[in-house]
Amino acid sequence: MVLSYCMKSTGGVVEQRVPTQTSPCHLGGERRWFTYPQCSKRVAVLYAPGRYFACRQCCGLGYATQKEGADERAASRTNKLRKQLGWEAGILNGNGGRPKGMHWKTYQRLKAEHNQLVQISYYDMGRKLGFLHKLLDASICFAKWGALSYLSRLGQRLNSTTAFAAVGTTVGTMEF
């Protein structure tokens, strides 16, 4: 197959030959695949990060979740659990109750996992804002007061509401 397209930036026409192959489907028929010449992989989608098309791995493209840090993964997982529990997204929005029809054992398990992930998110939030390690040892404070009360006491102690306002309601989208 020959891909022929016009580049808007240069106005030039680019032609690229990309071989294809087929594979049989379980219920009959066949499926067509691109075979990228550089790596000889069989792919369904080609990407054009520059002048020529290439497979995702040769372009160096990854999924958004592959680029997340531990704190962002914890925040994403927390929001998934909050959705499953029927609570409003965002760890600063407070918790709701047990959803109707959910077993108590399931609710307790999900809530315990949620609380652990919230503590990780609060810890990393404080680390990113730079005030957690400067004032107190975080592990002692989390064990003594818990994450939420620790942050509220720390906010009162600093007399700083800007640190909490900068965070917003979702932790996964913070950029520093």
What pLDDT is attached to residue 108? 94
Q: Are 58 and 37 in contact (CB under 8 A)?
A: no
What pLDDT is attached to residue 169? 35
Q: Are 56 and 43 in contact (CB under 8 A)?
A: yes
Q: Which residues contact 43 (CB under 8 A, 6 or more apart)?
A: 33, 34, 35, 36, 55, 56
pLDDT, tens digit, for every residue of 4-49?
888 887 888 888 888 899 999 999 999 999 988 788 888 888 888 7
What pLDDT is attached to residue 68? 82
Q: Which residues of the chain have pLDDT under 50?
A: 141, 143-145, 150, 154, 157-176
Instruction: Encode 134-172: b = buried (16+ Cβ within 10 Å), e = exposed.
Output: eebebeebbeeeebbebbeebeeeeeeeebeeebeebbb
What pLDDT is attached to residue 172? 36
Backbone φ, ψ for residue 31 (5° rounding): -120, 140
Average pLDDT, the chain: 76
Q: Are 3 and 15 in contact (CB under 8 A)?
A: yes
Q: The tokens 């989208």 sit on which residue?
A: 173
pTM: 0.48
What pLDDT is attached to residue 168? 35
